[in-house]
A and B are shown apart, each in its own frame.
Chain A
Amino acid sequence: MKFATSTALAMLLAAPAFSATDAAGAPDKASVLETYADIALAGYEDSLSTAKALQEAVEALIAEPSEETLAAAREAWLVSRNPYQQTEVFRFGNPIVDDWEGKVNAWPLDEGLIDYVSEEYEGPTDENEYAALNIIATPQATIAGQEVDASEITPELIADTLNEADGIETNVARGYHAIEFLLWGQDLNGTEPGAGERPYTDYATGDDCTGGNCDRRADYLKAATTLLVSDLEEMVAAWGADGEARGAVLEDENAGITAMLTGMGSLSYGEQAGERMRLGLMLNDPEEEHDCFSDNTHNSHFYDGKGIQNVYLGSYTRVDGSTVEGASLSELVAATDLALDDEMKTKLDTTMTALGAIKEAAEGGFAYDQMLAIGDEKGEELIMGGVNGLIDQTRTVERIVGALDLSGVAFEGSDSLDNPDAVFQ
């Protein structure tokens, strides 16, 4: 019978599509890892395309400084942050990303290294002699005993000499936050609303120039943006078809799945809940805001959380609205323990609701700075809602590590944890 044959044929042809799933309906680990790498690639591609748009906007600002061109450059920066933040979850667990990340997203920074700051700014500190160096105003500098010729501000000068000068991590000379500072300037409103108010005339020529050295400031902004674009190109390549980061993840299935869970857990707990959110709240210091110059912290936290959820659900919505999706960690967990998968999804939702509430409050006029103010109970409640959600979801990530058979693999983070034998060598 003709149709029977063709049905059989159709089933044979369709077979490869089902090979990614075993009898219990679980996707195989390799497919889950493919999705993970595809989401990473798409996230870095989106970060790159929006960084290129930022680069164009910066060039327009420098060519013709005005309220409008400055506003457009700031808007382009804000747009570029959202896809990037969703890639932060790839950092922990993937050494290739973690080693590179400091070039684009290092924080916090002693911004006085780069440009002028207010008089209240603490000058050189115990930890950092160069916290107030102001390289834009200093064509010839001495850093850690070395003469530095900064007469021309180039990507090389920033990358090779200024960034982490004197081995100090807060000497952040490149990346999103350096650019953010050059577009917004310091936020001098304390725990009151309002972002940095750098005037566009900081990039004006001749007598209109404010803040001094406008041409050098423009050179700096241009060079830092160029570096951001080339750094992101590197990461897009790393996750491409033959990329090193993709290869590392696919090489060993259990190690790859562990990397996914490590990224989710480490970003949730130590980094976002601890370092970025709770510590800032407990210090009541608006400089502890993650995107402090632009007052974009609510989005920064929200999209960090979103990235964690994307990895679990195996789905990422790109900046053009299209979706990258495939076999997911969620499906893998569900095939082992349906209740555990539900628990993870519920907790991720709870966190996103809490981070969404912070975002909504900030967009409604209750700035993240204000939430950090001493004794501001509403702000504390909002921020701790996010913190508690993130801590709670970490516990479930740990349960998943236990439930999936990932034997022989330990977490990133410590020599002794990664390799107990290392300490006996």
Chain B
Amino acid sequence: MRYSLMLCACLAASPAMAGIEEALTDHILPGFAGFSTAADALAVTAEADCSPDALRAPWNAAFDAWTEIGDVRMGPSETGALSVSFWPDARGFTPKTLRRLISSEEEVGTDPTAFADVSIAARGLFALEQMLYDADFDDYAPGSYACTLVQTATADLASQAQALEAGWRDGYSAVLRSAGAEGNSAFLSEQEAMTALYTQVLSSLEFTADSRLGRPLGTFERPRPTRAEAWRSGRSLRNVLLYAEAAEEMAMALSDGEMPQTEAAMQRLRDAAEKVSDPSLQDIEDPSARLRVEIVQQNVRALSGYIEQELGVPLGLTAGFNSQDGD
């Protein structure tokens, strides 16, 4: 990987701007460590008992941990995040691929190492959600192929989490810390590294507003509840809040001042979320239920606006391109 090649030149560099170091030590690195621990616990539980009943709690804990750093899409996560969290799945690749693996009992589903080559649609948190919560999949018996597949997918998730943690801790964090130092071709200045981190914060909130909430909201005439993220497990609203809290936390770490308006906006977002009637957003065909979700969406956008004002403007940061810029 490209960034590991730069490592030696970077280590000697002077300490980075406060915000970069704090984003790493206070947020990103503990976030990846936490996800790795949670994913490992899920795999260990699955090894002993593959049943949905046993796995739902540790799966949820792993998903909670993921939301801390799941929207950071740079360095090892640039590509690595996609196989942990493949969503949205507009063409139904996840059920299609799982069905194919199960019906033909493909050997790759029994081997955690080989599983790394499988389509990302059958890997990670969302494939597991389908196995643990979807009526078409969740009635598998102990010892069945599907049971082994779940064990394989959890083991694969644990090794992905470990690789991401190591990639950040032992490699990419040094690239960020040495921004502007000679030999660092990724970040020619500290400002570039700050901009890259700032872009992650705003992209996350944009994705939450436009996709996590915008996809199910659809249009007033035609809402699309089953396009909500993780609706099967009832996590849709929880994810919105957790991802927003993670974005806010990272913004605070990057900032060298207080961010009172941002904090207030986050509180308003929590308050708005509390009024939502169905945490899986499945009742949004009802106009008043829909309105409550729209208010959450507005509050996510407002939070983003205050972060721009309290972090972007004072530090002269403008968000760069993000991976959602396509269509």
Quick check: B90 and A413 within 8 Å, CB to CB?
no
Q: A166 to B219, alpha carbons, bound, how many Å? A: 11
Of B78, B79, B195, B222, the residue contacting A167 (CB under 8 A) is B222
Given A270-B326, A274-B326, A285-B93, the answer on whether A423 and B302 have CB atoms closer than 8 Å is: yes
Of A275, A395, A421, the residue contacting B327 (CB under 8 A) is A275
Residues of chain A within 8 A (CB-CB) of B308 are 416-417, 420
Quick check: B323 and A282 within 8 Å, CB to CB?
no
Given A266-B326, A398-B195, A410-B318, the answer on whether A420 and B305 have CB atoms closer than 8 Å is: yes
Quote the shortest CB–CB distance from A289 to chain B (angstroms).
13
Closest to A340 in B: B188
Quote the shortest CB–CB distance from A260 to chain B (angstroms).
14
Q: A421 to B309, alpha carbons, bound, how many Å? A: 10
Quick check: B120 and A283 within 8 Å, CB to CB?
yes
Interface residues of B in 153-206 (CB under 8 A from A): 186, 188, 192, 195, 202, 205-206
- Interface-located stretch among A122-130, A203-211, A323-331: A122-130
Of A169, A271, A276, A374, the residue contacting B325 (CB under 8 A) is A271
Q: What per-residue 1/0 map shows which CB atoms of A265-286 lie under 8 Å from chain B?
A: 1111111101110110011110
Quick check: B2 and A398 within 8 Å, CB to CB?
no
The reply on B264 being an interface residue by CB < 8 A is no
Quick check: A270 and B322 within 8 Å, CB to CB?
yes
Given A125-B91, A416-B202, the answer on whether A266 and B321 have CB atoms closer than 8 Å is: yes
Quick check: B323 and A269 within 8 Å, CB to CB?
yes
Quick check: A282 and B119 within 8 Å, CB to CB?
yes
Interface size class of B (residues with CB under 8 A): 35 or more
Closest to A377 in B: B117
Quick check: A282 and B82 within 8 Å, CB to CB?
yes
Residues of chain B within 8 A (CB-CB) of A424 are 302, 305
The reply on B226 being an interface residue by CB < 8 A is yes
Given A274-B326, A416-B205, the answer on whether A127 and B90 have CB atoms closer than 8 Å is: yes
Closest to B95 in A: A126
Q: What per-residue 1/0 map shows which CB atoms of A34-53 lie under 8 Å from chain B?
A: 00000000000000000000
The reply on A397 being an interface residue by CB < 8 A is yes
Q: A122 to B89, alpha carbons, bound, how many Å? A: 15
Quick check: B321 and A270 within 8 Å, CB to CB?
yes
Interface size for A (C-beta < 8 A) is 53
Interface residues of B in 82-98 (CB under 8 A from A): 82-83, 86, 90-93, 95-96
Quote the shortest CB–CB distance from B316 to chain A (angstroms).
10
Q: A110 to B96, alpha carbons, bound, how many Å? A: 15
A-B contact pairs, 22 of them (CB 8 A): A92-B325, A108-B91, A126-B226, A167-B218, A167-B222, A266-B325, A275-B327, A276-B326, A279-B82, A283-B119, A284-B118, A284-B119, A285-B119, A285-B121, A374-B108, A395-B320, A411-B319, A414-B206, A416-B205, A416-B308, A420-B309, A423-B305
Tell me the B residues contacting A by CB distance below 8 Å: 2, 78-79, 82-83, 86, 90-93, 95-96, 108, 117-121, 186, 188, 192, 195, 202, 205-206, 209-210, 218-219, 222, 224, 226-227, 298, 301-302, 304-305, 308-309, 318-327
